[in-house]
Structure 1
Amino acid sequence: MTTPTPMKHALSQQGKTPSQSQQGAAATPPVSTPFSVPHAAFSPRGPRSSPQQFKKSPATATSASMMGHPSAAAVNFDSPSTAAAFSALQISGGLDLGLPGPGGLNTPGRTSEDEFATKLEAVIAVLSRSKGLVSEAGLERLANRLGLDSMWESDGMGVDAKRTLIVAGAALELLIHFSNNIVEKVDLDFPDSTEIVTKHAKSAAAILLDDLKLAPDQSPLTKQLDSFAANFERLAILDKLSVSPGLNLYEAVAGIYESLSRLHQWEMQRTREDPALIGKSENFLHNLVLCTKSGIPAMNARRRVGLSLDYWVEKRLQLATDPEMQEYMDKTEKIWSILIACCPLRDIGLVSPVRVSDKWISADVEKVTMPGDLHAGGPMLDWLEPKSTFLPALDQDKEMEAMQMQAGQPSLLGARLPEVAFHAIFDPPIYITHGLWESIRDLGCGLPANELQQKSYDTLLFPRAPGSDYDPSEPRTITHSKRVGFTPSSAEVKWSLKEHVNTLYIYKPIYARALTELTFSHPQQIVSLLPFLRQFAFLSTLLENSFKDKPDPTTVPGGMPPTVSTRTTTSRDDFASFMGGGKSPADSGSGSGPSLATVAEEMESNKKEEPKEEPLKMDVTLTVHPIPKLQILFPFRDGTANVVLEIRANGQVHVESQNVLDERNAVAPNGRQRRVEDLGGILESMESLDKWCLFLRSRWA
């Protein structure tokens, strides 16, 4: 191993930066690949050329040197040996570039130069998906690819010199500090933005630094740029669409955050003051507002730069009772959110251009109603309509305006509206029916063009085998076997595993779409959609938990079983005993479940002693018109339980019909009166049809 020559910068992991390549002639030539140069130089859409011209291109020459070719000349693709080698590799499967076969003859279907260019572009697109490694050269290429200006500053000379990459845009400035090609610090600033933007710069810089710094025991040769590129690209898009002066999109997004945050704080205060919720924990109130109100806005949360609006979470009614459990649930719970940014205005006439304001809702939030006003009940939110944001007129518009004024004509030109709209990205995507899709469009939101091929809801949720033909109008049956962990009512056995065979029937076609993004004009549109998004988020959760292979911590010895916080004698007491193991809080006076070691030991012992018995068969029929509905059949007592449930807005479960609750089990062993509504409430808590059936069989039979 040789020591780098003093007074020179060390080589980057992906080749020298432009500033490094400008050093003296004695410097080591930069290492490059065919894809380290801009794609335009390697584009197959260039001038028509012969194979002799192509084989002498710099890209092929460099490729030859990298493959150990003894000569500096390019590989001769016309030679019989090379053609035979490529033919032996059978590259026609994944990298079919239309290269000549043995003897210089092209195989059938490869004679078109346009077809060759198309295939080569596809290969370049695949290779471009990887953002590369975290290095000086990699970050500089990323900045250039995003259309931002970049330059280097050096602190000292030699191998140990510190270097800083400065990336600048219209309203953005990012400084990435390197030491020996390792990122040490990231500074982010928005020089021309107001305080509502700059106060979030520090938290955004912390996320970007976390994306770039090495993990413990991680090699610089394996640190990928993908997570940093995804976050920084969101900032770069806002910068490229901004217009100086007149349109700062960082302020536009921050203004929506300020309004949504004002609404959230008002809803939390009203929830705390609700007499029916006195004594509830802060976690309970937090989830209640998250899943039933206007959601919870967050800026730079969960390692994502930008504004997000959380509106649904798994196990929202299962609350942790200790910090260890809370930390575990925070890491494992699935959260549904909407990322809010900006994009070019596509649906002109349907969606209004972006407006820069933090006054989307009044300071009082609630609108004062007068006697006689028609209102459906509940508070009326006082949404506002900010003034339009105008940009300065273009030079050609100014000349036209001067000509009109000289001719004595009224000027119709002048300031112009921005060609940018607010953009919402759904993470994860929501599968919704075609009817709801059209209702969103009628609300004034811009949606992507519909796919040519109609898809069914069950196909989106449970994809079919690749290449299989199907008719969405045909009935479909999905069968899934699984083992479900639960706590029987018997005192002798505290934990058990039950074999389930679940069958889902879809008799009528359910045409659906995957809602991935939309454009909107006002945050009120997004807030008004949340109840229906929760409806289908909860429906998909129920179906996936029962008809998909998902890791269930309660069925894994040593896993982390959910501990339910229940301190009152309600319908959730039995649920706590069922999920936590042992007696209910009403009997024991404690809401805590068994320890992890106890659960693991009991599961192992019960698995050995568990007698062989027939699996529990559960049949579910799904319909969605006019509202998502589940008909559930399972063995109960000496017959069959038949329960029909509606999944309503905000994930509320309504019992349409049932034959489970009657005079024989109307009163619980502790004297509590059971209600039909308890069937829906228990399912909302468990979020699993399997455990819901086992609960009713073991507690209500």
Structure 2
Amino acid sequence: MATPTPFTKTPQKHPQAFSSPIPRSVPPMMNFDSPSVMTLLQEGGIGMGISMSGMGMSSLGLSASAMGRADEDERRRRLENIIATLKTKPGRVSEEGIIGLCKKEGLDVEREEMPDGTISLALVIGSEVMCDVFVRNGEIESVKLETAIDRERPGLDFGPTGSKILLQSLSPLPGMTKINLTLERFSHNLDKLLRMDKLSAPENGGVSCYQAIFGVYTSLKKLFEHEKKMALAVLEAHTPYASQKAEREVLCKKSGRPRINAGTCLGLSLEYWMDRRHLIPRTLSKQSTSAKGKEKMNVDSSSDGDNYPEDGDPSNNKIYALTIECESSPSSMYSPIRISDAWISDSIEKAPDVATGDIDNILSNTPSIDWLDPPPTYLPSVAAGGDHDAMSLDAAPGRLPNIRFVAQFNPPLVVPLTVFINIYQTLGLEVPQDIRATTFTGLALRPGEPDPGLEMAGDSTPEVRSEKTVLVLNSDGNEEQRTHANSLYVPKTEFSRTMEALPFHHPKQIIQILPTLRQYAFTTSLLQHTFHSTSPSPPTPSPAVQKSAATTTATTTTTTTGTLQLTPPPTPSRTTTAEAHPLRAPPLQLDTTLSYSPPTPRLTLSFPHPSTTSPLPLFSLSSSLSSSSSTSSAASLLSALMSTSLSPPRPPLRISIDVHPNADLVVGDQNVVDLAPPPPPAVMSGELGGLELRAEDERVKRVARALDVCGDLGVWGEWVRRGVGAS
């Protein structure tokens, strides 16, 4: 409350003990030369009963010139903040920019000019890594990364594959001009190498993080090769793309695929999910499509970029991976890293044991992985006669390194809050306390907008809308573009969290949670492809379709849930549908309801039956009739209108899909496949009744498999409608 000024004619009631004739509204005299008083005035008079809102600087007898020194200090402070912010940003890709970045990071750079004019910049990154950048005519020509781990582990090829990644980080992306190319991506990879070097430095114990990480890679690679051979044994002989199919089966259903310097990620990556894994490009070499017997012989071949066609098409085959790194952590609180290649036995598998908790393997009659527990890795003893204190505990023999393993999510994964807490508790980690009211819609679909969990009332339902053009086959078997009006409803508020990093001390902990991660990776990718505000649209060759796609909108609204039946979004505007195309039907409405809570996410889709003809708007019919000069055209339009009004409406198609662990899809409630009533017990026990039930079950499974193959709600919905219309 502002203190009244002396001009305010408000009667004041003073206590009896207050005998001063000066009104209480007038502040006492202060010495403004005191720095402490000036600080209090600048902070608003806290603790002195002075309100700067009710008393201006002029009323205190101070002018702007008298406060000039404070203004200069404020400007200087802001300028320093701007300069500090600019210093954190890497420069542009050039010789001077690379040298400046290395100086800022404290790296030594040796510059050498070759006889042909090429300039070599040698970056010394600790005692284990050296990077040479070759610049010619102001452009980056090549990068050479040399590491000590390649000499200690022949065949790892960390340096050659890392050189390609570093060169890509110094090259412009598709559609980017060289003038806009910065050192941001190169700086990110350089920071990763620097962190590994600092953790492996002698002052931190001298334990090589490279040896620890690539020891984990050796065991994971052994497990991957074993599971790939098992997957190849299941495939039929002369199966095309057998090697790629087996690898992707292990990647998405088993223990994942470990890779060194995969894609644009430097280091060890454990890939655990791939979008549209069944879609393999036809540009592979003939060697990759050889018979199954030859694939078995080539399973241990070195990893080459040609064996991973998904790296060249990340838009269709997006990969979810965990990057295995090291971070500083006290060994007294968390289990430290261990340097060992024996995280798993040579036999790979063992019989399931109830004592070890392999109940699921016993029920499914499948072997379990034979994990091993390597001994701890101790730091070397401090040499005698050093500068270390003899009473220091850090210098005592038998010390453990203050480093732990951590898995970085690439990309970050959104999971329900209960799943987030369960994973942390399963790994024996402390659950973060910064619990926020964030939802899947706000984190995964609309990250740049206010989260519905922060604004939404308890009796409302968040709705996300988008329009998308889908390539479909018409009744004549020809391809055509069809517009879908998609709506996503989330009836229940389910809070979620984004997983970015997960510490662990044994690789088996990561393998055990992969089935759960795949559930939400598939769900997130499926919905992002349809409802993400920045997702690219399919190619549109015709100008009319291009104009329609250019006007595509994606908005987030809120609808109340007064009834169980959710109301569809309003009819599209006349400008985009009726006026531009008078005889064009409105976009096909596809409604999706999401239940995100564990144990399984559920997607319920509803779309019109193919036999239900969408009536044309009345204003479009009248305008067409008035503009038509042909009697036959008017008659055909009236005939279409009469047939539309007389045809009974068919109920919309409705399918519920449950996403189980490992992203196994199971169809729940549905009205697509006509299921006959259960036969009598006598027929049920016969062979004919069993065959009929199995045939119906296979038809239902085929609906779920179609969604797994295409990975697109729009394409899958059109496939279902086409199958129902043909039946």
* TM-score normalised by the chain length of structure 2: 0.65
Shift, 1:437, TM fit: 0.7
Shift, 1:347, TM fit: 8.9
CA distance in structure 2 between the partners assigned to 1:142 and 1:400 by the alignment:
34
SS of match in other structure, 1:273: helix
Work out whether residues 470 and 538 of structure 2, in 8 Å CA contact, stay in contact via their aligned partners in 1. no
| Residue 499 of structure 2 corresponds to residue 518 of structure 1 | no
Structure-1 residue corresponding to 2:223: 263
Structure-1 residue corresponding to 2:622: none
| Residue 723 of structure 2 corresponds to residue 699 of structure 1 | yes
Structure-1 residue corresponding to 2:400: 417
Structure-2 residue corresponding to 1:612: 584
CA distance in structure 2 between the partners assigned to 1:346 and 1:611 by the alignment:
71
CA distance in structure 1 between the partners assigned to 2:581 and 2:450 by the alignment:
45
Structure-2 residue corresponding to 1:43: none
Give the alignment of 1:10-409 within 5 angstroms: 104=65, 119-120=78-79, 122-153=81-112, 160=117, 162-178=119-135, 182-191=139-148, 194-195=152-153, 199-212=157-170, 223-244=181-202, 246-274=206-234, 279=239, 281-282=241-242, 283-323=244-284, 330-333=313-316, 334-345=318-329, 349=333, 351-368=334-351, 375-376=362-363, 377-393=365-381
C-alpha deviations, 1:27-65, integer Å up to 9, x for none?
A: xxxxxxxxxxxxxxxxxxxxxxx9xxxxxxxxxxxxxxx
Q: Which runs of 5+ in 2 are unaligned?
A: 1-34, 36-62, 286-307, 544-579, 612-649, 678-688
Q: Which AA in structure 1 matches 2:131?
A: L
Shift, 1:525, TM fit: 1.5
Work out whether residues 190 and 197 of structure 1, in 8 Å CA contact, stay in contact via their aligned partners in 2. no
| Residue 675 of structure 2 corresponds to residue 657 of structure 1 | no
Work out whether residues 125 and 193 of structure 2, in 8 Å CA contact, stay in contact via their aligned partners in 1. no
C-alpha deviations, 1:466-511, integer Å up to 9, x for none?
A: 56861475633324242433434522x5122333222222121111
Structure-2 residue corresponding to 1:601: none
Change over 3 Å in CA distance of 1:628–1:212 after alignment to 2: closer
CA distance in structure 1 between the partners assigned to 2:410 and 2:368 by the alignment:
29
Work out whether residues 433 and 510 of structure 1, in 8 Å CA contact, stay in contact via their aligned partners in 2. yes
Structure-2 residue corresponding to 1:684: 708
Residues paired across the two proteins, number: 539
Q: Which AA in structure 1 matches 2:193?
A: L
- Greater shift after overlay, 130-139 or 518-527? 130-139
Shift, 1:692, TM fit: 2.1
CA distance in structure 1 between the partners assigned to 2:79 and 2:676 by the alignment:
73
Work out whether residues 194 and 251 of structure 1, in 8 Å CA contact, stay in contact via their aligned partners in 2. no
Work out whether residues 122 and 130 of structure 2, in 8 Å CA contact, stay in contact via their aligned partners in 1. no
Change over 3 Å in CA distance of 1:118–1:653 after alignment to 2: farther
Q: Which AA in structure 2 matches 1:303?
A: T
Structure-1 residue corresponding to 2:601: 628
C-alpha deviations, 1:299-338, integer Å up to 9, x for none?
A: 1221332111212122112333445996897353221112
CA distance in structure 2 between the partners assigned to 1:218 and 1:551 by the alignment:
17
CA distance in structure 2 between the partners assigned to 1:447 and 1:194 by the alignment:
37
Q: Which runs of 5+ in 1 are unaligned?
A: 1-49, 51-101, 405-409, 559-607
Q: Which AA in structure 2 matches 1:230?
A: H
CA distance in structure 2 between the partners assigned to 1:166 and 1:609 by the alignment:
62
Q: Which AA in structure 1 matches 2:416?
A: T
| Residue 461 of structure 2 corresponds to residue 476 of structure 1 | yes
Work out whether residues 310 and 336 of structure 1, in 8 Å CA contact, stay in contact via their aligned partners in 2. yes
Match of 1:503 among 481, 487, 497: 487
CA distance in structure 2 between the partners assigned to 1:248 and 1:516 by the alignment:
25
Q: Which AA in structure 2 matches 1:266?
A: H
Shift, 1:136, TM fit: 3.6
* TM-score normalised by the chain length of structure 1: 0.67
C-alpha deviations, 1:648-688, integer Å up to 9, x for none?
A: 112111112112111599999xx999521122111112222
Shift, 1:552, TM fit: 3.8
Change over 3 Å in CA distance of 1:466–1:130 after alignment to 2: same
Change over 3 Å in CA distance of 1:106–1:553 after alignment to 2: farther
CA distance in structure 2 between the partners assigned to 1:537 and 1:176 by the alignment:
37
CA distance in structure 1 between the partners assigned to 2:178 and 2:280 by the alignment:
40
C-alpha deviations, 1:251-279, integer Å up to 9, x for none?
A: 11111211111111111101001267873
Give the alignment of 1:455-604 within 5 angstroms: 455-463=438-446, 466=449, 470-471=455-456, 473=458, 475-488=460-473, 490-491=475-476, 494-549=478-533, 550-553=535-538, 555-556=540-541
- Greater shift after overlay, 381-390 or 301-310? 301-310
SS of match in other structure, 1:675: helix
| Residue 411 of structure 2 corresponds to residue 428 of structure 1 | yes
Structure-1 residue corresponding to 2:562: none
CA distance in structure 1 between the partners assigned to 2:237 and 2:583 by the alignment:
45
Q: CA RMSD in A?
A: 4.3
C-alpha deviations, 1:590-613, integer Å up to 9, x for none?
A: xxxxxxxxxxxxxxxxxx999522
Identity of aligned residues (%): 27
CA distance in structure 2 between the partners assigned to 1:216 and 1:276 by the alignment:
40
Shift, 1:175, TM fit: 3.1
CA distance in structure 2 between the partners assigned to 1:674 and 1:198 by the alignment:
45
Change over 3 Å in CA distance of 1:319–1:505 after alignment to 2: same
